[in-house]
Structure 1
Amino acid sequence: MQNIVILAGNIGQTPEVRTTQGATRITNFSLATSRPRLSEGRVLRDENGYRVMDTEWHRITCWGGLGKTVAEHCEKGMKVLVHGRIHY
């Protein structure tokens, strides 16, 4: 059985970087994913005609070289595609 997840969304905060005692870089950031809210199979709209969106927040952790790349090139508000696994 595979544990694979692909998320597409916007970075919520500037990535935070930590370093372990073994010099491994760990980068954390929050990712917002949104989808339209449905009621009886139809998209809900507010009083101005805009779609009502449901937003979910995800905590993403990157290790090593990937963590370094994310810290150097990603910032708040950027759209990103994350491929990884779910771990609780």
Structure 2
Amino acid sequence: MLNKAMIIGRLGRDPELRYSQDGKPVCTMSAATDESYTDRNGQRVDRAEWHRIVIYGKTAENCAHHLGKGSLVFIEGSLQTRKWKDQQGQDRF
């Protein structure tokens, strides 16, 4: 099976660089992709989709040092959905 995604978008905020418990760099960022279309009434509709991105290793450090809010990025990788429980015990994805 193939699990591959390619995203071209702009960063919504500066990348955040942290280090895992074993000292490995982890960078998180949010990128927006957008599209527009004309609805049945002839009105232009703009829509943005936000993507959470996690990058590891040396690439994470490079992203944190060279990218900033508004940067145009091309991201290629695999999709993964994570599940956790919030403070109220509800499942979140």
TM-score by length of 1: 0.84
The share of aligned pairs that are identical, in percent, is: 31
Q: Please, which runs of 5 or more residues in structure 2 have no aligned partner?
A: 82-93
1-structure distance, mates of 2:71, 2:27: 16
Q: Please, which runs of 5 or more residues in structure 1 have no aligned partner?
A: 46-51
When the two structures are aligned, how many residues end up with a matched partner?
Answer: 81
Correspondent of 1:79 among 67, 72, 80: 72
CA shift for structure 1 position 44 = 3.4
Correspondent of 2:50 among 45, 57, 64: 57
Structure 1 equivalent of residue 28 of structure 2? 28
CA shift for structure 1 position 43 = 6.9
Report the RMSD for the aligned CA atoms in angstroms. 1.6
Higher RCO (CA < 8 A, seq sep 6+): 1
- Which runs of 4 or more aligned residues in structure 1 lie more than 6 Å from their structure 2 counterparts after TM superposition? none
SS at match of 1:55: strand
1-structure distance, mates of 2:76, 2:38: 27
Q: What is the identity, as a one-letter code, of the residue corresponding to 1:44?
A: Q
